[in-house]
A and B are shown apart, each in its own frame.
Chain A
Amino acid sequence: EPEVTQTPSHQVTQMGQEVILRCVPISNHLYFYWYRQILGQKVEFLVSFYNNEISEKSEIFDDQFSVERPDGSNFTLKIRSTKLEDSAMYFCASSVQGNYGYTFGSGTRLTVV
């Protein structure tokens, strides 16, 4: 069964450093998303991406965040200058279109120290 693959599974970074989280969506999917889950809290929407541009973003997704699809397979989330409160599980997801085919990756646990 097709999977959304995320790397690395766990990343530790120092406050103020830049991090790039990587995702390989399912190959025939057209919509891409990033969500995050702070430990013990609910999953929160960050951003959706379609046709090589951001289609929607939440208030969490400020100027420190950016997304990119540098080639035909990867979808990345960059945090420019990490803060302690960025520590969370970051989930990538992709979907075909419309209502169905929404698949999550296993997540990257980001720890900012």
Chain B
Amino acid sequence: KNQVEQSPQSLIILEGKNCTLQCNYTVSPFSNLRWYKQDTGRGPVSLTIMTFSENTKSNGRYTATLDADTKQSSLHITASQLSDSASYICVVRKVNTGFQKLVFGTGTRLLVSP
């Protein structure tokens, strides 16, 4: 079954600290993997997109890694800020007759405290 599992479910860190969020997926066939940031009551905003051949991609203080062999990805946030408090969602695009269909994980709710 096409699944995207994330851990931890929630996380509290102090401002300025780093953290790493995990994503495991079973979606197949795999096209690409995305990390989104979702503020409460808002739509998801893309942070990174990685294809099968990419291992690492950075976007400012966000660095995503992908191991397509083990079907695992991580999102590392460096020097966290209060504005990083949000849900971080791992999303996998499944290849399906050429049209895009995204499979969402349950998300990790991050709280950055002062």
Binding site for B on A (CB under 8 A): 4, 31, 33, 35, 41-45, 48, 50, 55-56, 89, 91, 93, 95, 99-100, 102-107, 109
Contact = CB atoms under 8 A, between A and B. Distances in A.
- Interface of B, secondary structure class, is strand
Given A42-B107, A56-B97, 7 more contacts: A31-B100, A35-B104, A43-B44, A43-B89, A48-B99, A48-B100, A106-B43
Given A99-B32, A99-B49, A31 B104 contact: no
Nearest to B104: A43
Interface in B44-78: 44-46, 49, 51
Contacts of A41: 106
Interface size class for chain B? 20 to 34
A45 B103 contact: yes
Contact of A91 (B44, B51, B99): B44
